[in-house]
Structure 1
Amino acid sequence: MPGDTAPIDFSGLIREGDLVVCGQATAEPVTLTEALMAQSEHLPAFRMMVGPIFSETFSAACAPHVSFQSYGVIGNARRLAKAGRLDMIPSNYSAFCADFASRCHQADVVLVQLAESGGRLSASLSNDYVIDAARGARLVIAEINPDAPFTFGAEWPGDVPIHIRVAARRPPVELPSPPLDDVSQRIAAHAAGLIADGSTLQFGVGRVPDAILSSLSHARNLGIHSGLINDAVVDLIERGAVTNAEKGIDAGITVTNQVIGTKRLYRFVHENKAVAVRPTSYTHGQGVLARINRLVAINSALQVGLDGSVNSETLNGVAIGAIGGQLDFVRGANASPGGRAIIALPATASDGTGRIVAHVETVTTPRADVDAIVTEWGIAALRGCGLAERARRMIAIAAPEHRDVLAEQLRGRPR
């Protein structure tokens, strides 16, 4: 059982069958989640809803009567999935968040990390589903973290009670940018040609999106309206490439749903009125995205088929990715005046297998929504193309050693 040094004793707070929801990614309230996992063996069986995990908190070795659910297998959530401890909810990120507001998902206990400034509270690094989950929860426990930035747009609503407050024992989780490699830089060189001055960018986490952002320091009047921002955005703003002047909405404001990076980024967004951490209904809303000028959605994938179908979820029947906000932003970019939807990925996986395939095993983004696929070998512009031309263009951007096999598979004579 927890001793006197525990930040909180969960005995009597967690009930049998509870759904416990905690902040995701860098917004994870680690002081609370670590205490909960440490005490889980002595608590009734409960379910834990998690998003991307970038901490070391959740282990497959935790109490077997704790079950986990998520909308994706991102970061260290892969450990839970590999151990068969993670139940996947196949939802678009926008729908997953909306399901808390509609009570399709009903949280019992919510654990949240908050920033405090001048008596005001902010959800700080993420404005996702936690507030709506808390609105309907029996118990809301807040970790007040003095190192978490106070962000505008994510202010904690006055009508959502906080029942217990705990002082944070460590700074927020950080996720440094991965080092760039030759392949990601080659992909970025191709993708940058699709991004005109005055474009508004959406992007995800990872080496390829970071490489693309790093290649845009020469651009002018870029905007940001994204599911997340990272340290690379600070670079673009400080170099004058991002001004948010031509977005059509939110002039001068970088708009995001989550802040995922390092202390440098957290210092930058702290009480910065030029950054708005907005709810998912705004950052991912189709009506909002369609009003943005030249929205360029930059997403990745595990596989892309010769017909353009995109798989970002599974390989060999195992979930290792997520639907996330990919389809939200692909469709939003397609509806945006002058918008582009880019799926960027290495042509070859780390084990040497090709990521351009005859047929994907799971369809995350349907072929009807696909615009441009980019690998280190070039760009396959697919919008408006027939299936035969799509296949030709996709084979041209596959790794050279896989092209003949793909061509034979296309002809129905697999080698």
Structure 2
Amino acid sequence: MLSATCRAVRPSSIAACRLAVVKRAYYLSGEIHHEPFHPIPGRNPEWLNGQQAFERHLDSAQHIFIHGGAATPNHLIDNMVNVAQEKKLKDIKLMHIHTEGPAKYNEPEYEGIFRSNSLFTSSNCRKAIQDGRADFTPIFLSEIPLLFRRNHIKLDMALIMVTPPDRHGFCSLGPSVDCTRAAIQNARVIIAQVNPKSPRTRGDAYIHSSHVDCFVHMPENLQEMPARSIDEAEVAIGKQIAQNLVENGATLQMGIGSIPDAVLAELGSHKDLGVHSEMFSDGIVDLTQTGAITNARKKIKPGKIVSGFVIGSNKVFNFINDNPFVELCDIQFTNRTAIICENPQVTAINSCIEVDLTGQVVSDSIGPRIYSGVGGQIDFIRGAALCTDGRGKPIIALQSATKKGVSKITPFIKEGAGVVTTRAHVHYIVTEHGIAQLWGKNLRQRAYHLIQIAHPDHRKSLEEAAFKRLKCMPSPD
């Protein structure tokens, strides 16, 4: 009987089928990894519907990677869940970063069939993690590909979304290359949802169709994440950063959220900005169209916007479609500190949940409740701090208080909360009330500067708490 790999080939001869099996066995052996770019002679994917693809390849106790962000293949996920339930499968482990859509596998009725493991958590996983039905792995975004490349996790399957093959047989991973490239390099079986609505992106985004086992045709609108409205405090934070910390010619990295968007909205008059980031969204489009972003001064891929993935609305998806100005790259490249620091004036702008008076930054959790993940914050905070021209700026930005009026600058971090950026990594903390530069400052000085940018309603109580904790008054000198 032919192997599953061989059945997926449609060879013109048995010899061609054996060649495909040998090649697949070769690039999955030892430390030699499958390079998904080159064509494999004599090998073509099967075109199946989703039900057929999973009836053929899905089994209990498998490890499966799911493409994330705007490229989440929700049609494949629905079929996977249905087939697993019909076949009464068990103990299937799912791995992914931020995904969009309902994530049916996290529903209580699928407990025992699926267990999701978030490497960066989105809203569709938080309750399952909180209830103990799903897992969260704290890991730097730059190191996620190593899970697969070092065979720490052996993937049985990768579920991805791609564009239709071009005349040479090449598909694109669309808006999300990130850690997906490492997954398809190392997965035993690749099932791809072919989506003609996905943008064709460049860089490391290509996979030749001969590396795919099953194609499932299903047009589907990309998962959009429209920009949220920016409130008055966020506008003030954006102005603080744009006017005081972002220089002409800077290389920008932006995290997710309304605060990075608020900064971008204030950069229209800047010149020769560059982008080397783990992700970007709609705000980059406007700055490109006004000429503020040229990438002219970058050392790494000059002239190009470099990113790992893109989220946002159709505005940014249309912008990246077949655009030579944008390269989406393997996240192990984009987020590598030694590469980041080579660019000029690296300015890393990230947000967080809370900061204590010594400078510890909580970004992945609200107390013990997992909210997001470690992501690329430290990758870029460190890359900016080590910038070879000595002009990098690692920035953490947050509103001084929650919508309920609770201070986000606190005497102690909440019990169970996770420190993502340590007090040794932190440099600039920005709120709507100002900028605190903490690098090289002792604890007494840090407390002083953080109290100055806290909400005025909380400064007195923070000063009292600092005295109680440090046994001395906070002071600038």
TM-score, normalising length from structure 2? 0.82
Q: CA RMSD in A?
A: 1.9
Q: 1:154 to 1:402 in 2, by over 3 A?
A: same
Specify which of 398, 401, 415 is matched with residue 345 of structure 1: 398
1:137 equivalent in structure 2: 187
Moved more, 377-386 or 156-165: 156-165
Say whether 1:89 aligns with 2:133: no
Query: Which runs of structure 2 are paired with 1:4-153 in the superposition (5 Å)?
Result: 7-9=50-52, 10-43=54-87, 44-45=89-90, 46-58=92-104, 59-65=106-112, 66-116=114-164, 117-118=166-167, 119-153=169-203
For residues 151-184 of structure 1, the C-alpha deviation after alignment (integer angstroms, 9 at most, x for no partner) is 1113434497210001123122111111111121
- Deviation of the 1:316 alpha carbon: 2.2
- Residue 383 (1) aligns with residue 426 (2): no
Q: TM-score, structure 1 length as denominator?
A: 0.94
Whether the 8 Å CA contact 2:108–2:133 is kept in 1: the answer is no
1:182-201 Cα deviation digits (max 9, x unpaired): 12111111111210111111
Counterpart position of 1:266: 317
Determine the C-alpha separation between the residues in 2 that align with 1:294 and 1:76. 36
Q: CA shift at 1:62, angstroms?
A: 4.6
Q: Which residue of 2 aligns with 1:247?
A: 298
Say whether the 8 Å CA contact 1:126–1:154 is kept in structure 2: no
Q: Give the secondary structure class of the aligned counterpart of 2:70.
A: helix
Task: Give SS of 1:80's match.
Answer: helix
For 2:257 and 2:435, the matched residues in 1 are separated by: 20
Matched pairs, number: 410
Amino acid of the structure 1 residue aligned with 2:324: K
Q: 1:350-389 alignment to 2 at 5 Å?
A: 350-360=403-413, 361-389=417-445
Q: Unpaired runs of 5+ in structure 1? A: none
* Contact residue 120 and residue 155 of structure 1 kept, 8 A: no
Whole-Å separation in 2 of the counterparts to 1:25 and 1:238:
25
- Decide which structure has greater helix share: 2
Counterparts of 1:82 and 1:18, CA distance in 2: 24
Structure 2 residues without counterparts, runs of 5 or longer: 1-47, 471-477
Partner SS for 1:287? helix
Residue 212 to residue 392, structure 1, CA distance change in 2 (3 Å): same
Shift of 1:328: 0.4
Corresponding residue for residue 201 of structure 1: 252
Shift in CA distance, 352/251, structure 1 to aligned 2, threshold 3 Å:
same
Q: CA deviation at 1:298?
A: 0.6
3-state secondary structure, aligned to 1:147: coil
Q: Select 2:216's aligned residue among 159, 166, 170.
A: 166
Where 1:198 maps in the other structure, the secondary structure is coil
Measure, in 2, the Cα distance between the counterparts of 1:236 and 1:50: 31
Instruction: Name the residue aligned to 2:329.
Output: 278
Question: Is the contact made by 1:31 and 1:169 (CA closer than 8 Å) also made in structure 2?
Answer: no
What fraction of aligned residue pairs are identical, expressed as a percent?
30
> What residue identity is the alignment partner of 1:114?
V
